[in-house]
Structure 1
């Protein structure tokens, strides 16, 4: 009788162990399936909604991906589950690249690119405001402007030179205001030297650009 009870106890423990093991494996499989479903479902969300919540989407993806990877250890034969995870990884990476391109801000216009190069990223927009230029930084602003023009003078079109002249005159106008706000005589002298360098460079190269355009038009 004792032997029967002992065997029954062992069988019960074994059954309980198997049951727990099966439950653990099923839970792991559900975790993998949840990851796969998330990747498939997020691809069906409107781009506008994704853009607004992209950080949350990325955070949730990383969490589910990590959980799915860890769950593989609890699946006895996990080759099919591994393939599912790898396929979803590829899907999501392709989707991420696609969304990155969609969410990227539009490339600045050629005119804005020129302004960015001459003054710094986003410093001068459509409003042509130079209010950020002051007595402390105006010399460095002129310096960047003139040196950038000098380094790229052979690449500019006639339209570029016209834009450069417009910006130069606007900067000069700002200088008239800044002179009354504490511009040092040393910086004023240095700016004068840069202006002397710019004037003939503009005249010669603008004429050259126009001449090249006329030649191209005749062809």
Structure 2
């Protein structure tokens, strides 16, 4: 009788372990399915919305991916489940590559951003065409240029200063043409004052930017 009770007791315990194990496996499968469904759902998100919320999407993906990887161990590295997870990972990686490429392509050109600040939105493009600068507006153009440089001088890198110098020389070249087209003596004097302000500001700040760059390189 005792022996029979012992066998029955062991059978109950075994059934308990099996039930517990099945519950863990079911929970693990549910976690993996949640991961797969999440990745699938990303395919329905509009591109612009995905780009705008990419940080949040990536953080959520990492969390669900790690949870699914842990759940897979509960399923004894089940090959079918692993294949399902690998397919979802490949799908996510493809989406991420697409998003990264689109976000990179939509980034504003830093040189154009600088040109817009120095001369006005869309006034100067990569072709460096200054034909719009004339005797009537050239003083204002120099004014905006020099004041913008002054406002940003502490933020410019050595490369930025080189770009500033190139655009300044292009503007100066245009001035030579404008002078022959009726530039007033008054505006010419004002421009000369702005040029006197720009020259030492450029020299000192570019030297400072170069020194700072060299210090960072040593570190």
Q: CA shift at 1:176, angstroms?
A: 2.3
Match of 2:150 in 1: 134
Q: Cα deviation per residue 1:152-203 (whole Å; 9 max; x = unaligned)?
A: xxxxxxxxx977845999xx97772475xxx59x938x79xxxxxxxxxxxx
Give the whole-Å Cα distance in 1 for the aligned partners of 2:50 and 2:151. Answer: 45
Deviations 1:78-118 (A, max 9, x none): 11111111111111111111122333353657xx84x67xx
C-alpha contact 1:133 1:174 (8 A) present in aligned 2: no
Q: How many angstroms apart in 2 are the aligned matches of 1:167 and 1:12?
A: 97
Query: Is contact 1:39-1:92 (8 Å) kept?
Result: yes
Correspondences of 1:1-219 after superposition (within 5 Å): 1-76=1-76, 78-104=78-104, 106=106, 113=111, 123-124=117-118, 126-127=120-121, 129-130=144-145, 131-134=147-150, 137=153, 144-145=162-163, 165-166=173-174, 176-177=193-194, 179=196, 183=197, 187=200
Q: Which runs of 5+ in 1 are unaligned?
A: 150-160, 192-219
Distance 1:176 1:46, change over 3 A: same
| Distance in structure 1 (CA, Å) of the matches to 2:191 and 2:27 | 69
TM-score, normalised via structure 1 length: 0.58
2:118 and 2:149 in contact (8 A); partners too: no
Aligned residues: 166
Whole-Å separation in 2 of the counterparts to 1:100 and 1:89: 16
Whether the aligned pair in 2 keeps the contact of 1:35 and 1:68 (CA below 8 Å) is: yes
Moved over 4 A (4+): 120-123, 135-138, 140-143, 145-149, 161-164, 166-169, 172-175
Taking the aligned partners of 1:142 and 1:27, their CA distance within structure 2 comes to 56
TM (norm. structure 2) is 0.58
Q: CA offsets, 1:5-39, max 9 Å, x none? A: 22111111100001111111111111111111111
Range that drifts further, 99-108 or 22-31? 99-108
- RMSD of the alignment, in Å? 4.3
